[in-house]
Amino acid sequence: MTVIGWIQILLFCAIILAITPVLGAYMTRVFSGQRTFLSPILRPVELTLYWAGGVEEKSEQGWLRYTVGMLLFHVGGFVILYALLRLQGVLPFNPAGQSAVAPDLSFNTAISFITNTNWQNYGGETTMSYLVQMLALTQQNFLSAATGIVLAMVLIRGFARASARTIGNFWVDVTRCTLYVLLPVCVPLALFLVWQGMPQTLGPYIDATTLEGVKQTIAVGPVASQVAIKMLGTNGGGFFNTNAAHPFENPTALSNFLQIIAIFAIGAALTNVFGRMVGNQRQGWVLLAAMGVLFIAGILVTYWAEANGTNTLNALGLTGGNMEGKEVRFGIVASALFAVITTAASCGAVNAMHDSLTALGGMIPLINMQLGEVIVGGVGAGLYGMLLFVIITVFVAGLMVGRTPEYIGKKIEAKEVKMAMLAILVLPLMYLGWTAVAAVNPQALPQLGNAGPHGFSEMLYLYTSSTANNGSAFGGITANTLFFNITGAVAMFIGRFWVIIPAMAIAGTLAAKKSVPPSLGTFPTTGSLFVGLLVGVILIVGGLTFFPALALGPLVEQFAMTAGAVF
């Protein structure tokens, strides 16, 4: 661990803290339907879109209609995506001549991109045409991100509104989110990345002859436009197989730093939007603080574990930390930071091989995802996931002040608890259940890259990443098989929508409730006490469930490794 390393980590935190209130203020204006500095340019486009889609801008929906609209939107997205993948071979913009994608892989990929997971059982440059990359994948990168953000907005409105029957208009929210939030950040970001050396072209792959005289095909394509939204929208699906470790997908240290900031930017800002909309910014900062505590703890462990390497490596004279699977351009701290950030948020882009992290170093990404990705989290998903935990926390501990638990003036009653539990309990079912199925499935086991506990971790990571809609992998596993494609897709689908629908139901009932003014007897939710409490509940309710699985995977691997045994 080095001073430079710590400076990078602190600088990252400082920049995120600085962006949060600025972007938060801007997004609050956007979602309150107020004018912004971009309105002169974007308002006509927005109105044209409403006119074309027959959307009544002023008519709001109840939570159920909103949710149904959202689901229909995803059905459409799935159909388009699946069709494009299957028809790729006969469609234009395919200079590399990619053929149709297999049905099970198409299914997995389509689910993966509509759920903001971007799990990739393929290598981008060897599987996808430019058309598919742009029209299918990049397009869903925008829309799945926008969906996540607007769903968080709905839950925020649930807390902010009182005695209301409507919670917004899905079509208006998605349009405004894409036009006013995602595009205006992505365009300059993509240009910046191009300046840093990232390709943005529709031209064919380049053939080069190496010094040894070997012919090599160098893949290029419309990379920058996809990478910008892949980071900002916490999608994480790489243009190239090696994702952000590829020199064209992450050319410089600066592009690396900018990408990790893009991952956290919107998720962190949403906590501020929450605070502003419920009328007390402290409420937002408290959520960010709880996220921050868990984030810093994760960074400490992973950075420490990677910087110290392993006994086996040290015995071979390979001191200076674990560099296996890392880009030398980025080194230990940038790789550790990236790994923790990408799994804290629901991004899943990687600039190092997670499978090659040390046992403990790799356990943190697993835990980050298993906690439900509430540490900043996926755009929108992180906030609504966190708010579900807040509901549980307030309910358990709130009783201890002798009142029916309340949060932001809303009483937390049976309906909210039921929905929050429904959303939370599906996560362990998916992570643990599918891992259990795979662990005794003779067809699945040969696909593992390692034996013993590490092989177990690979499966656990796969289903954890899928359910949490992350998309990163312990890449040793060969997951492009019928079994993993289908079960992974189920995990991604359930992990996304089984959480969203209860969260929307909560938004609906909260919006309809009266708001109780706070008094001295009200459970306080703006202090450090609440931060500690929330972190405790997340770790005990959200985390302890995974203790047996973690004991059999990374923990036993770590203890064995300390003793000099490898698997």
Instruction: Summarize as ranges the residues that interact with another protein (CB under 8 A).
Output: 162, 392, 395-404, 409, 412-414, 416-418, 421-422, 424-425, 428-429, 432-433, 435-437, 439-440, 445, 452-453, 456, 514-517, 519-524, 527, 529, 533, 536, 540-541, 544-549, 551-552, 555-556, 559-560, 563, 565
Nearer residue to another protein within complex by CB, 11 or 529: 529
Query: Is residue 200 packed enough to be buried (19+ CB in 10 Å), middle (13-18) or exposed (0-12)?
Result: middle
- What is the nearest approach in angstroms of another protein to the Cβ of residue 552? 5
Partners of residue 168 on adjacent β-strands: 61
Nearer residue to another protein within complex by CB, 54 or 521: 521
Nearer residue to another protein within complex by CB, 247 or 564: 564
CA 145/CA 158 separation, integer angstroms:
20
- What is the nearest approach in angstroms of another protein to the Cβ of residue 199? 43
CA 531/CA 528 separation, integer angstroms:
5
- What is the nearest approach in angstroms of another protein to the Cβ of residue 147? 26
- What is the nearest approach in angstroms of another protein to the Cβ of residue 198? 42
HSE, side-chain direction, 13 A CA sphere, residue 397: 22
Nearer residue to another protein within complex by CB, 26 or 498: 498
Nearer residue to another protein within complex by CB, 91 or 164: 164
Contacts of residue 75, defined as CB under 8 A and 6 or more positions apart, other chains included, come to: none
Q: Give the Cβ contact number of residue 299 at 10 Å.
A: 22
- What is the nearest approach in angstroms of another protein to the Cβ of residue 52? 42
- What is the nearest approach in angstroms of another protein to the Cβ of residue 59? 27
Sign, Cα dihedral of 99, 105, 111, 114: negative
Nearer residue to another protein within complex by CB, 44 or 524: 524
- What is the nearest approach in angstroms of another protein to the Cβ of residue 559? 4
Task: Tell me how far the alpha carbon of residue 557 is from its chain's centroid.
Answer: 27
Nearer residue to another protein within complex by CB, 292 or 554: 554
Contacts of residue 389, defined as CB under 8 A and 6 or more positions apart, other chains included, come to: 372, 374, 420, 424, 534, 537, 538, 541, 542
* Beta carbons of 81 and 109 less than 8 angstroms apart: yes
- What is the nearest approach in angstroms of another protein to the Cβ of residue 524? 5
| DSSP 8-class letter at 352 | B
Nearer residue to another protein within complex by CB, 277 or 549: 549
Nearer residue to another protein within complex by CB, 163 or 209: 163
- What is the nearest approach in angstroms of another protein to the Cβ of residue 462? 14
Partners of residue 206 on adjacent β-strands: 218
Which residue in 535, 560, 553, 359 sits closest to 464, CA to CA? 553
Q: Compute, in degrees rounded to 10, the torsion defined by CA atoms 452, 455, 460, 461.
A: 140
SS3 for 43-69 is HHHHHHHHHHHCCCCCCCECHHHHHHH
